[in-house]
Amino acid sequence: MHLIRRNRILRQSPAIRSIVAETILRPSDFIAPLFIVEGNNVREEISSMQNYFRMSIDLTVKEVKELYAMGIRSVLLFIKCKDELKDNKGTEALNPDGLMQRSIRAIKSVCPEMLVMTDVALDPFSTYGHDGIVEGNEIVNDPTVEVLAEMSVSHAQAGADFVAPSDMMDGRIIAIREALEGNGFTKTGIMSYSAKYASCFYGPFRDALDSAPGFGDKKTYQMDYANRREAIKETMMDVAEGADIVMIKPAMAYLDIIREVRNEVDIPVSAYHVSGEYAMIKAAAKMGWLDENRAILESLTSIKRAGADLIATYFAKDAVKLIN
Ligand code: PBG
Is 8 part of a structural domain of the chain?
A: no
Provide the Cα torsion 270, 35, 299, 202; round to 10°.
-90
Number of domains in the chain: 1
Is 139 part of a structural domain of the chain?
A: yes
Pocket (CB within 6 angstroms of ligand 1): 119, 121, 123, 131, 166-167, 202, 205-206, 218, 274-275
User: How many Å lie between the centroid of ligand 1 and the Cα of residue 205?
Assistant: 6
- pLDDT reported for residue 160: 98
Is 245 part of a structural domain of the chain?
A: yes
Is 188 part of a structural domain of the chain?
A: yes
User: How many Å lie between the centroid of ligand 1 and the Cα of residue 78?
Assistant: 9
- pLDDT reported for residue 197: 98
- pLDDT reported for residue 210: 85
- By most ligand atoms within 8 Å of CB, the mutation choice from 79, 120, 123 for ligand 1 is 123
Atom of ligand 1 nearest to the CA of 167: 16
**Ligand 1 atom 7 nearest Cα:** 202
* Domain enclosing residue 277, as ranges: 24-323
Contacts of 25 (CB under 8 A, 6+ apart): 297, 300, 301, 304, 319, 323
- pLDDT reported for residue 211: 87
Which tens digit of pLDDT belongs to each residue from 86-116? 999 999 999 999 999 999 999 999 999 999 9
Is 4 part of a structural domain of the chain?
A: no
Output the domain CATH number for residue 142: 3.20.20.70
- pLDDT reported for residue 75: 98
Residues of the chain with pLDDT under 50: none
Q: What pTM value is reported for the model?
A: 0.97
Say how far apart CA 64 and CA 77 lie, in whole Å: 11
Torsions phi, psi of 176, nearest 5?
-65, -45
Is 63 part of a structural domain of the chain?
A: yes
Say how far apart CA 180 and CA 14 lie, in whole Å: 49
- By most ligand atoms within 8 Å of CB, the mutation choice from 36, 81, 166 for ligand 1 is 166
Is 128 part of a structural domain of the chain?
A: yes
- pLDDT reported for residue 142: 98
DSSP letters, 12-76, are SSHHHHHHH-S----GGGEEEEEEEESSSS-EEEETTEEEEEEEEHHHHHHHHHHHHHHT--EEE
Is 3 part of a structural domain of the chain?
A: no
- pLDDT reported for residue 74: 98
**Ligand 1 atom 11 nearest Cα:** 202
